[in-house]
Structure 1
Amino acid sequence: MIDVNGVSIGFETPRGFKTVVHGVSLQVPQGQAYGLVGESGSGKSTVLRALCGMTPLCGGQMQVAGQPVAKHMPKAQRRAVQMVFQDPYASLHPRLTVDQSLREPLLIHGMDRVAERVTQALADVGLDASFRYRYPHQLSGGQRQRVAIARALVLEPQVLLLDEPTSALDVSVQAEVLNLLKKLHHERGLTMLLVSHNLAVVAFLCSQLSVMQHGRIVESLGTDAVRAGAVQTDYARQLLTAADGYRRVQAVVQTV
């Protein structure tokens, strides 16, 4: 479903052109939840944005559902790939109600049964119809992120890209959102690509992951190996040590 082949990405800076992603390759089969993990600045979010057509490539190729990713993609292809951003306080327009935020993508894509789809999208993320006419400032952080997930799901995508969707939330709310994402993944058969610096979050939701450092993939492994501590590179071992709260996060997730 997702095929990233030898991708390099760079940007113009005052000091000249700087490459921030170097020859990254990964494949995600249909229906799999896949993780990209690494410290801030490792290039993982840049890869995610490139898959949406938001960031141009300077080398390599990307395909989603067999179609090449480009800056100007047809509406049907854009509808198939949706993204949930890191900060629920910034990703929702402060002057739009929840109803307006969910209606907008439906109207852009010319979909029918708009009111019904909005109500159903909210129900799918555990929010009742009373939330439709609230503004973002009237919602908690967890509720805002649920609305952001509903906005992504309302178009019935095949692929969901998740850019650190729980890092701005406290641990108990993180657990609720992770449980919700896992439920939606199984119910809808979504292909998910999750970016996080937290190995605990990735290991809970994903079955496979790649570790990025300085714009390169340094290791790819299954989450069973992460749980067993069987990582091969020093960098992955450092991330595992830094995520020593893995067992505590897992305990919270399983009880919420």
Structure 2
Amino acid sequence: MIDVERALIRFRTKTGHVDAVRDVSLRVAEGEVFGLVGESGSGKSTLLRALAGLVPLAGGDMRIGSDAAQHGPRRDVQIVFQDPYGALHPRFTVDRTLREPLAINGIGDQDARILDALAEVGLGPAFRFRYPHQLSGGQRQRVSIARSLIVEPRVLLLDEPTSALDVSVQAEILNLLRRLHRERKLTMLLVSHNLAVIGFLCQRIAVMRNGEIVEQLDVEAVRSRNVAQEYTRRLLLATEGYTRESGARLEREQGA
């Protein structure tokens, strides 16, 4: 469903240019949940935005299904952003937020679709005419997910969809995404710096560093810590949190 061949994404700077993504290739099968993991600035969100048509390629090729990825939004590829507070227009009700993509894409039966979309993400009709400031962070992210799904995409791109939420709310959103994947048979590409989140949802992952993919592996290899790159091991260690044992292990590795 997703085929990326030697993608290059370049941004101009005052002194020349910077290559945010360099020579990246990956393939995601139809119905698969694929994870992109790496520290901040590794290029994973930039790659996701290119697949969504928000950032142009400077080189290489991207294809969604049988179609070349195009610059500009497309109905069959939708994205859920990291910040549920910034992703929704503050002066739009939930109803208007969900109605807008239907109008843009010429989709009818809007009232019924809006109610169905809210129900699908666990929000009742009482939320329909609320504004973002009247919603919690988790409820805002549910609305963002509903907005992406209401046009019935084939591919859902998820840019750190839980990192701005409380831990208990993160679990709710992850369980929602797992259910939606199962019921809709969506192809999902999930960006995260947290390998625990990736391990919960994904079948395969690619590890990015400095704009390049350094390793691709099955999620079972992550769970068993059967990884080839030292950088991936350090990401696993960071995911554990700072415990006495992990801290001592990091000190030993740094001293080696």
Inter-partner Cα distance in structure 2 for 1:71 and 1:12:
18
Deviation at 1:52, TM superposition (A): 1.2
Find 1:103's aligned residue among 99, 103, 111. 99
Inter-partner Cα distance in structure 1 for 2:33 and 2:171:
17
Partner SS for 2:190? strand
Residues 20-40 of structure 1, C-alpha deviation per residue, up to 9 Å, x if partnerless? 111000000000000000000
Partner SS for 2:75? helix
Residues 93-140 of structure 1, C-alpha deviation per residue, up to 9 Å, x if partnerless? 000000000000001111011000000000000000000000000000
**Aligned residue number for residue 253 of structure 1:** none
% same residue: 61
Residues 36-79 of structure 1, C-alpha deviation per residue, up to 9 Å, x if partnerless? 00000000000000001111111100000110012256xxxx11
Name which one, 1 or 2, has greater alpha-carbon Rg. Answer: 2
Inter-partner Cα distance in structure 2 for 1:142 and 1:72:
28
Q: Is 1:218 equivalent to 2:234 in the alignment?
A: no
Question: Unaligned 5+ residue runs, structure 2?
Answer: 242-256
Q: In structure 2, do the counterparts of structure 1 residues 72 and 41 end up closer, same or farther at CA, with 3 Å as the change threshold?
A: closer
2:52, 2:72 within 8 Å by CA — same for their partners in 1?
A: no
Deviation at 1:9, TM superposition (A): 0.5
Inter-partner Cα distance in structure 1 for 2:108 and 2:141:
25
**Aligned residue number for residue 161 of structure 1:** 157
Which letter maps to 1:58? A
Which letter maps to 1:130? A
**Aligned residue number for residue 31 of structure 1:** 31
RMSD (Å), alpha carbons: 1.1
Find 1:237's aligned residue among 229, 233, 238. 233
Which letter maps to 1:43? G
2:157, 2:189 within 8 Å by CA — same for their partners in 1?
A: yes
Partner SS for 1:239? helix
Find 2:145's aligned residue among 149, 173, 187. 149
Find 1:209's aligned residue among 205, 209, 218. 205
Which letter maps to 1:132? R
Which letter maps to 1:99? D
**Aligned residue number for residue 110 of structure 2:** 114
Q: Is 1:191 equivalent to 2:170 in the alignment?
A: no
Equivalences, count: 242
Inter-partner Cα distance in structure 1 for 2:9 and 2:193:
20
Partner SS for 1:79? coil
Structure 1 stretches of 4+ with a deviation exceeding 6 A read none
Which letter maps to 1:35? G
Question: Unaligned 5+ residue runs, structure 1?
Answer: 246-256
Which letter maps to 1:38? G
